[in-house]
Each structure stands twice: as C-alpha cells, then as structure tokens.
Chains A and B, each alone.
Chain A
Amino acid sequence: MSEALVATQAPEALASGASGARQFWRRLRTQRAATVAAGIVALLVLVALAAPLLTALEGQDPTTYHPSLIDSARGGVPTGSLGGISGHHWLGVEPQTGRDLFARLVYGARVSLGVAFSATVIQVFVGLVVGVAAALGGRWIDQLLSRITDIFVALPLMIMSLALLAIVPQSFPRPVLVTLVIGLISWGSIAKIVRAQTLTLKGLDYVAAARLSGWGAWRIARRELLPGLAAPVITYASILIPVNISVEAALSFLGVGVKPPTPSWGQMLTAADVWYQAAPQYLLLPAGALFVTVLALAVLGDGVRTALDPRAASRLGVGTGRGRGRGREAVTTAKEESA
C-alpha cells in the first residue's frame, strides 16, 4: 500500500528534476517486460544508427541489383537454398532484383524509426504550443484553438495523409514528407491533454505565486508549467511512437509513403506479397521486424506510463510486475475479505 502512496506522487516528484528522473528509471526497471522491451528498442535504434556500418561489414548495400543471383528460368526467385542465404548475403536476396535483404532490412529500420520519432517530436511540439496557448490565452483564444483542435482530432489520419502524400510532387524527399504529414495532422489529442493539464496546473498555488511575483507568461510557461506537463506528455508520446511506425508502414504499403529505391518495411511487404511461396523470408522478415518493433515500443510505452503514474496504469488496465496499482490491490483485498 505504501508503494501505491509513494507512486501517486510520482508526477510531482518528476518535476523536481534529477531525483525524479532517477525515481522514474527505478520504477521502470522494476517491470520485467518493460526492461526487456527497452533493451530491444535500444538494440533497434543502434541497428538503425549503425546501418551503414553493418552493411559494410556484410559487404553489401541496399540498392545494388544482383541479377546473377536470380533464377530467371524459375520466374525470378533467388538462386540457391533459403532464398539465397549465404556468407555474402546474410538474409538472402530479393526475388526479381537480387537486392540484399539484410541491407534493406537494416536501412528500413532507419526509415521506420526515423520517421516515427521525428513525427512524434512534431506532434508533441505542436500539441504543447497549442495546448499551453489555449490554456493560458484569453477566452477567445481558448475557444478558437480548442475548436481547431477538435477539427484535427476529427480528421481521419490515414485518409488525409494518403491524399496529401499523393498530390505533393515526387521531387520532395519522401521520408521528410511522411514525417511532416503524420506530425502535422495528428497532434490534436496531445494538445487536448496538454490544455487540460495546464488548466489544472494554472490553479495551483506555486503558479499563482509566480504570477504574483510579476513573472511573465512565457517565463511561467517555461519554468513552472513545462515540468508539470512532462509526465502526461512523455506518457502519451511513448504511445504515439508505435502508432506512427504502423502509420508509416501502412502508407508505404499503399505505395504513397517512402518510395523505392529507399527501403521501408511497409513497402517491402507490398512487394513480397506475391512471393510468399517462392521466397517466404522476403515476406516474413519485414513483417517480423514491424511486429517486434511495434510490440517492443508498445510494451515500453506501457512501462513508461506505469512508472510515471501507477494510478493511470490500473485505470487503463495495463502494467506488469509491481506497478499494478490501486485498483487491482483493492480487488484482491475485497476478494480475500469475501472469502
């Protein structure tokens, strides 16, 4: 029970800087699933960053065609067993083109993670600016910004981005475009959360004290409000990242996202669709990579939420290990009592 009591103070404790951050890490580490997920995410980030190094080690690159490795008599499947796996091509080659699969997979991680993380940064930035401005501005500014936010919440992300991506000229760098489109369309929910939280914080004594001592709105927002916003924003952002990965993959799958020759997991899936019998690993590799990445990020996101606010964890029905929280404890107690 004492653990739950301490836990409820976590968001405020986080605001107090270094000790809060340390507490956060400790709370995250007590959850086994989240720790494993964090390790996988770290590994994936490392792979993405070291993609040129890894492919250099293999001696391949993601865009070179290898016609010699393709059996044109059998309709373009890779020569050799297991889709052409060899010492030179660790995961085999693509059917038809003979491009190296390992190289395309690790470069695909760059696109996937790069787009998802950057899009999340944009969403958080726009959401913070709009949310704080709505909460601190006057009645009319709040009304206007809130209505605009409502509209952006109502816009169907997939449909809008699908349409937008198609009409922008192909010369515009696609990964940047996908990032911008995802980031600038779906910031509505985060702006709503920020606005609500800022309104709560605004009523607290220490913010009132800051205002009384003549601080400007900007200084109050930066020094007094931002730390209090950290917990909900980090929590929500950690859920947005896996969602963004799925969206990028989906857009590339539909052929409007990242275009060849730049490799992307979603795009590989489209191409692999018809080859599933002849070259199953061509399909399984990007599908598996997507699954593992999104799952690891989702588990980590849950862990982050539990570490920042165990009450929310019990409310949302997630959380593993010790951070299960109030609802569950109360349930077990009630059950024991009734028994």
Chain B
Amino acid sequence: MNGFGGFLLRRTIGTLATLLAISVIVYVVFYVTPGNVAQITCGPRCSPEQVHQVAQQLHLDDPLYVRYWHFLQGLVVGQDYSTGTSVEHCSAPCLGLSYQTDQQVLSIILTRLPVSLSLVTGAMVLWLVLGVGTGVLSVWRRGRLTERVLTGLTLAGWATPVFVIGLVLMIVVCGELQLLPFPQYVKFTDDPEQWAWNLLLPWFSLALIESAAFARMTRSSMLETLAEDHIRTFRAYGVGERSIVGRHALRGALAPVIALNANNFGSAVGGAVLTETLFGLPGLGQELVHAVSVVDLPVVVGVVLVVGFFVVLANAVADVLYAVADRRVVLT
C-alpha cells in the first residue's frame, strides 16, 4: 500500500495499537499496585463486612485479566452496572463508573474536557506566536544586544517551572495591581468575552514557559537555513534582508516547529494540570488531582487514557503536517 491513503491507514493502526498498549500498562500498573481500594472507597469507619461488600460490588476480587477484559468490553460495546438498587447502562465507549459518585467516567471527562481544551488551545496559539516571534526577532537582530537579551530571557523562561510563573503572575496582576480578576472559569458558550478575559492569565502562564523551546528551535533552524547555499544565491540576486529572514529562512523553521509542537504536547498537558490546579480551573487536570486523592481508579485510568489519546493523536497529526510542510519528507 502506497501513497497518502496507505500512510493514513498505517498511522491509524499504529495509533490504535499504541493506545491499546497504553491502556494495558495503565490498567495493570494501577490495579496491581498495593493499596486497599475497597477500604478507601467505603470510608475509614466501614466494618470489614461492608468493605467486603464494596469489594464485591466493584469486582475487586476478580482476577486482573477478567477485569481488563470487562474494561475492554465496556470500551467497545458498552456495559451494564448494578448500582445497588437499579441497573445503569453505560454505552460504548464506556470507561466505567466512578467509585466515588457512581457517575459514568466518560461523562465526567466530557464535562471537564472543554475547560482543558480551552486552556491548551488558547495557550498554544500564544506560545506559537510568542515563540516563533521571539525566534525571528533574535535572528533579525543577530549579533546585537537584542539577541543576547532574548536568548537569556528564553533560557530563563525555559528554566522556570510553570507554577512559579503562574503564582507570581497571579500575585502581581490579580493581587497587587488588580488588573484582572482572580480567574474563574466561564463557559465560552455563556459569555465569550468573559471566557477569554478569565483565561488570559492561565494562557500566559502556560505559554510563557512553552514558548521558550519554540524560540530556541525557530532561531536555530533559521540560522541553519541562512547558512545554506540557496540563501547566498538570493542575496547575490539582491533579495532584501527582510525578505530573506522573514520568508526564506522562516520557511526552513516551519517543519521543526511543527514537530516540536507535537513532541511538546505531552509536557504541555502536564503544565496544564499545574495551571488548572493553580488557578482553580475545573478541567481534566483538576479532576485527576482530585480523583487521585480519593483513589478513584476508574476516573484516574480514564483521564490518563484520554490524555494519552490526545498525545498520540497530536503526534500522528504532526507527522502528516510535517510531510505537507516539507515535501522532502517521505511518508512511511
């Protein structure tokens, strides 16, 4: 199988296989790890009989492969759960029920997802603009003070943990200067203006950190392109410096930046967890931190899988974009 269709098919199969493998690892690791889930779910004052009952209800005593098989079944065809009195149907793709609230994990995730996506996509636009902009500027002013200052700032940005920058920004902007309110999530569909206004600070916190890598990547790719022969030819033909840097050198930086954006997606999601926790945004990260603190395993596994899905997806999309941006890349 050749061509673009074959490439897409192979990538899809590979992506599905990776996701399946991740689900096995996550499932095994989390359900094998010692820790009395039934006791924690039931609460500290439960009698041994009650704990046993909970363990039975949650199927905690079944062998691991049986439980994983049920989990897969739920994902593909859905599953019925008895919640004491009634039977609840959880349709495919079913990620199980929360140990704590008996809510379907998928619906919990779906209510949280828009918040995280708002945070990450907004921040991504910012970090691409900031990062590539800084990179271009430092190449344009190369050899001068501007370049050295920008390089230093970039390294400092790269070195600062996201929660330190977020904390400092929040204290200065919301606390001391009172330029912005302390962020509170407003749905985009309710009020787009308030949505953006409240997310401004979280976006900046995440983007300032992430943009550093892009600034470095842009700068180095552009410098490399500038050293190539065809640029010298352009100069010989009298093409202006502005056009050389802004068009021809920037084009060389496009593919690496796309690749970096995909590679960085996983770390950006990690940064999003911190940002959400710091600013109290009700996204997936905050849900995960909460689920983790009450050992709500189905929610934990569900969130990890959904995030893994996005990371793997981002990588696959980047491969396609990479090929589009740079025609020399051979699809395999």
A interface residues (Cβ-Cβ under 8 A, vs B): 147, 150-151, 154-160, 162-169, 242, 246, 249-250, 253-256, 266, 269, 273, 276-277, 283, 287, 290-291, 294-295, 297-299, 302, 314-318, 326-328, 330-332, 334, 337-338
Contacts and interface: CB of A to CB of B under 8 A. Distances in A.
Q: Is the interface of A mostly helix, strand, loop or mixed?
A: helix
A150 B266 CA distance: 13
B227 A326 contact: yes
Query: Which among A151, A256, A269, A287 has the greatest number of chain B C-beta atoms within 10 A?
Result: A151
Given A163-B288, A327-B223, A331-B227, A157 B267 contact: yes
Contact of B22 (A155, A169, A298, A302): A155
B53 to A, nearest CB: 22
Interface of B: 18, 21-22, 25-26, 29-30, 33-35, 135, 142-143, 151, 155-156, 158-164, 167-168, 171, 175, 216-221, 223-224, 226-227, 231-232, 235-236, 266-267, 269-271, 273-274, 277, 288-289, 292-293, 295, 297, 300, 303-304, 307-308, 311-312, 315
Contact of A151 (B21, B142, B266): B21
A323 to B, nearest CB: 14
Q: Is the interface of B mostly helix, strand, loop or mixed?
A: helix
B221 to A, nearest CB: 8
Contacts of B159: 242, 291, 294-295, 297-298
Contacts of B151: 318
B157 to A, nearest CB: 10
A159 B303 contact: yes
Contacts of B223: 314, 317, 327-328, 331
Given A157-B267, A253-B163, A314-B223, A162 B273 contact: yes
Given A156-B308, A295-B159, 20 more contacts: A155-B22, A159-B273, A159-B304, A160-B304, A167-B35, A169-B34, A249-B163, A250-B274, A254-B273, A254-B289, A269-B167, A283-B167, A294-B161, A295-B156, A316-B220, A327-B220, A330-B227, A331-B223, A334-B226, A337-B235
Given A295-B159, A299-B155, A334-B227, A276 B171 contact: yes
B33 A164 contact: yes
Contacts of A298: 155, 158-159
Given A162-B273, A250-B161, A250-B274, A150 B18 contact: yes
Contact of A166 (B221, B266, B292): B292
For the complex of A and B, 8 pairs with smallest distance between CB atoms? A317-B220, A158-B270, A166-B292, A330-B227, A317-B219, A295-B159, A294-B159, A338-B235
B312 A317 contact: no
Query: Which among B142, B155, B232 has the greatest number of chain A C-beta atoms within 10 A?
Result: B155
Query: Which among A165, A168, A297, A328 has the greatest number of chain B C-beta atoms within 10 A?
Result: A328
A158 B312 contact: no
Nearest to A272: B167
A318 B220 contact: yes
Contacts of A256: 292
B225 to A, nearest CB: 9
Contact of B235 (A160, A253, A283, A334): A334
